[in-house]
């Protein structure tokens, strides 16, 4: 057997194992804090909707509302992680909630750092940690 191959096979397994821990779904957060607000991985501001129930079991922003306020999508395999919990939407898709409130993006925010959705119709708020 080639001695280089014997050494490299366990090394490759070690590297793959470490990477799956770093980038695997179970340990990753769906959002982060930047400048005191929650943002998605692309740096876009997240929002909560005052009309959503406080128990994080449902979003009432569906149809045209969800077109303007896209939910922060969660994978079907997502699981609770700290203050983050996936919830099922009316259409069967999954959405992240944070501390009991579903979170959304705002279509009029064009670049990371935009916060133009705060206070829209008196019911949309920037999500804060």
Query: What per-residue confidence (pLDDT) applies to 11?
Result: 37
Helix and strand numbers (H, E) in the chain are 2, 8
Label residues 48-80 b or e (16+ Cβ within 10 Å = b).
bbeebeeebeebebeeeebeebbbbebeeebee
Q: What is the pLDDT at residue 3?
A: 52
Length of the chain: 129
List the chain residues with pLDDT less than 70: 1-28
């Amino acid at each position: 057997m080639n001695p280089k191959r014997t050494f490299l096979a366990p090394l490759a397994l070690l590297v793959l194992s470490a990477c799956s821990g770093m980038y695997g779904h179970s340990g990753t957060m769906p959002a982060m804090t930047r400048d005191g607000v929650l943002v998605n991985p692309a740096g876009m501001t997240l929002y909560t909707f005052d009309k959503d129930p406080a128990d994080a079991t449902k979003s009432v922003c569906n149809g045209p509302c969800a077109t303007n306020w896209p939910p922060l999508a969660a994978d079907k395999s997502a699981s609770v992680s700290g203050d983050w919990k996936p919830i099922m939407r009316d259409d069967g898709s999954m959405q992240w909630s944070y501390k009991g409130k579903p979170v959304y993006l705002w279509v009029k925010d064009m670049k990371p750092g935009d916060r133009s959705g705060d206070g829209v119709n008196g019911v949309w708020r920037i999500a804060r940690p």
